[in-house]
């Protein structure tokens, strides 16, 4: 069965190349932005994009340049793939370019919301986003995550008690992070056994976006189990271990104020979780994967971590220091490794729709005429793979951002066209929590353990294959299995 699938995928890729070659004869470069040609009213382009979005955008960019129009069936898009143009999109007001259609799609794909979308979206904008702004800002993050480091350490220790067995690197870098984040955001009564179902649902997202039935039933069953678990949490309504100003108490107030104790509330919680975790878990996994594939970089980051642990006196003391303690020049290389991972894994920005006709002004003075109803998409991957900006762009370079002057409350990417965390009016609201969480995962794992390939990876460290239907951020169905052994200095742990 798998051989037929591989042959089919190969044939489709070759067909896409042939179609792209044919279309090159119909290309008209006289208009700006130029239009990607289509023989079937955009539905041919829609199919090619659904099969492999990143490859499709790359072919269009080679043919049309960094800014172009393309029709995917009935959907009309303007694609921008230069740093200045993406920055202009981020700076545009929501009155001009709105995210409502994207939110509707996410609510449906992830949480199964088919009715009452408008009310859930209103609560998301009115209550959820301000909560995230308050609780996950650099000023408040330390208070929100007071117990995060110790909980994450405990989760990793529980997962790694048996050193005789190999362990999934995806589970190792994701499950403790997922659980600890949920507990600081929702309190100790939040269910702690939902990771596997969440991962099953999250892995199905590329298929669900393309409306493919593959993986549909397992992910549907996982979603229903998640929703039942969250409904039980909401109906109990208990956050006894949180003060009134904590994130978990405030989130429970939102649920109660909007009478979210039924299916709607559970769907809202699921969207909240997916917003927090989907990109962070990918980057946590790939950060360690890239480091394992770069032995010299791995050793340098580990040396930096060990030195910091020694300065703090112990790993536990370092974890108690919280985000402010880790926002320090002594972690320049570690932070650079995380930023470099995000540069390599993020593919596109969120898609926005024009509410009216307007001209999008670029920094060079050019104007892009945007029509009402058109969607605007930023091809971040193209910018991050630009060899004129990033030397050797396809390679993981651990210290790429470590040469920048260190500034607290900044992410060491100033001066680069770095769009992995949004920007302008649309900067990722959870970016500080994401970077802090991945830092803590890597600090614990690199300080406590040595890594060796399991039998499944006997050929050595190989990066997982990128899912061809990856959208927004790299997805993979592969995993890396490792054998852990406590480092000599940590044998007693």
β-partners of residue 68 are 79
What sign for the dihedral angle of Cα 463, 464, 469, 474? negative
Determine the Cα–Cα distance for residues 381 and 230; give it in Å rounded to an integer: 35
Closest by CA position to 82, among listed 421, 349, 439: 349
Tally of CB atoms within 10 A around 95: 9
Taking the model in full, what pTM does it have? 0.90
Place of tokens 């650079």: 336
Q: Give the E-state strand segments of 141-182 in sequence order.
A: 167-168
Determine the Cα–Cα distance for residues 98 and 354; give it in Å rounded to an integer: 7
Encoded tokens for 493: 């742990």
Residue ranges covered by each domain of the chain: 1-72, 74-490
CATH number of 74-490: 1.10.630.10
| Length of the chain as a residue count | 493
pLDDT score for 493: 46
pLDDT score for 15: 60
Q: What's the order of all strands across the beta sheet hosting 449-453?
A: 167-168, 481-486, 449-453
| Angle between helices 148-159 and 169-186 in degrees, nearest 10 | 140
Mean pLDDT per block of 10 residues along the chain (493 residues) reads 48 56 54 88 89 92 94 94 90 88 86 84 85 88 92 96 90 97 90 95 82 73 95 82 73 80 86 92 96 96 97 95 92 96 91 93 86 94 93 96 86 85 80 95 98 73 85 87 82 45
Closest by CA position to 427, among listed 129, 111, 78: 129
Determine the Cα–Cα distance for residues 334 and 352; give it in Å rounded to an integer: 33
pLDDT score for 4: 47
Calculated CA dihedral for residues 288, 309, 312, 149, nearest 10 degrees: 40
pLDDT score for 362: 85
Q: Which residues line the annotated binding site for heme?
A: 428
Determine the Cα–Cα distance for residues 238 and 192; give it in Å rounded to an integer: 15
Encoded tokens for 175: 């499950």
Q: Which residues line the annotated binding site?
A: 428
> Would you list the DSSP string of 173-205?
HHHHHHHHHHHHHH-TTS-S--HHHHHHHHHTH
β-partners of residue 370 are 358
């Amino acid at each position: 069965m798998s051989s037929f699938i591989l042959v089919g995928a190969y044939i489709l890729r070759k067909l896409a190349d042939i179609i792209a070659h044919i279309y090159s004869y119909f290309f008209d470069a006289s208009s700006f932005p130029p239009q990607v040609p289509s023989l079937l009213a955009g539905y041919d382009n829609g199919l090619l994009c659904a099969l492999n979005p990143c490859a499709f955008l790359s072919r269009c960019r080679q043919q049309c340049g960094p800014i172009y129009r393309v029709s995917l069936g009935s959907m009309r898009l303007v694609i921008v793939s230069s740093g200045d143009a993406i920055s202009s999109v981020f700076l545009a007001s929501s009155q001009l370019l709105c995210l409502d259609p994207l939110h509707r799609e996410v609510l449906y794909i992830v949480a199964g919301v088919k009715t009452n979308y408008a009310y859930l979206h209103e609560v998301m904008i009115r209550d959820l986003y301000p909560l995230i702004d308050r609780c996950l800002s650099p000023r408040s993050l330390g208070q929100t995550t007071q117990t995060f480091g110790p909980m994450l350490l405990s989760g990793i220790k529980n997962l790694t008690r048996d050193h005789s067995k190999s362990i999934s690197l995806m589970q190792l870098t994701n499950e403790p992070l997922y659980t600890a984040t949920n507990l600081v955001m929702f309190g100790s009564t939040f269910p702690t056994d939902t990771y596997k179902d969440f991962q099953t649902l999250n892995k199905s997202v590329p298929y669900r976006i393309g409306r493919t039935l593959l993986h549909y039933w397992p992910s549907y069953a996982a979603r229903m189990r998640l929703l039942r678990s969250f409904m039980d949490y909401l109906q109990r309504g208990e956050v006894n271990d949180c003060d009134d100003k904590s994130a978990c108490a405030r989130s429970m107030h939102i649920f109660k104020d909007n009478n979210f104790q039924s299916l709607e509330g559970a769907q809202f919680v699921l969207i909240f979780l997916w917003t927090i975790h989907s990109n962070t878990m990918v980057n946590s996994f790939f950060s360690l994967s890239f480091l394992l594939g770069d032995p010299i970089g791995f050793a340098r980051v580990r040396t930096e971590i060990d030195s910091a642990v020694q300065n703090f006196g112990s790993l536990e003391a370092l974890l108690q220091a919280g985000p402010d303690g880790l926002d320090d020049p002594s972690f320049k290389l570690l932070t650079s490794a995380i930023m470099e991972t995000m540069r390599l894994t993020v593919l596109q920005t969120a898609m926005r729709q024009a509410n009216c006709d307007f001209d999008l002004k670029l920094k060079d003075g050019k104007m892009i005429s945007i029509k009402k109803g058109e969607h605007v998409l930023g091809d971040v991957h193209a910018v991050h793979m630009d060899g004129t900006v990033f030397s050797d762009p396809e390679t993981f370079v651990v210290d790429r951002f470590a040469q920048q002057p260190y500034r607290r409350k900044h992410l060491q990417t100033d001066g680069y066209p770095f769009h992995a965390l949004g920007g302008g009016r649309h900067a990722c609201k959870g970016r500080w929590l994401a970077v802090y969480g991945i830092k803590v995962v890597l600090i614990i794992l690199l300080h406590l353990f040595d890594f060796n390939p399991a039998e499944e990876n006997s050929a050595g460290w190989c990066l997982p294959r990128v899912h061809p239907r990856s959208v927004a951020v790299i997805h993979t169905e592969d995993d890396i299995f490792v054998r852990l052994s406590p480092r000599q200095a940590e044998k007693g742990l």
